[in-house]
Amino acid sequence: MSEMTDKDRETKKELIESIQSILNANKDNDYCCQYWLSDMIKQQFKLHEIHDWNNNNCRDYNDLFVFNKPIKE
């Protein structure tokens, strides 16, 4: 994986903050199911224009988001 730029670091920080905010806001929300939560988190990746993982020497998106299973190494 290539070294992160300052812009990459800022985007990562904003992404983490937005996802943490979603998780905190819906932690005790009985009306927010896992599918809705997943959709909201995926939307954050779209909003931050994070979609070209393989061309940036990152792991495959599907490998990262397999819930209840270990991340493939």
Cβ neighbourhood burial of 49 (10 Å; 0-12, 13-18, 19+): exposed
Q: Is the pTM of this model over 0.85?
A: no
Domain ranges across the chain: 6-64
Regarding predicted confidence, which is higher, 52 or 7?
A: 7
pLDDT tens-digit map of 12-41: 999 999 999 999 999 999 999 999 999 999
Report the half-sphere exposure of 53 (CA within 13 A, side-chain side). 11
CB 67 within 8 A of CB 37: no
- The tens digit of pLDDT for each residue in 36-71 reads 999 999 999 888 877 655 555 455 545 555 444 554
Residue 50 CA to residue 45 CA, distance in Å, equals 5
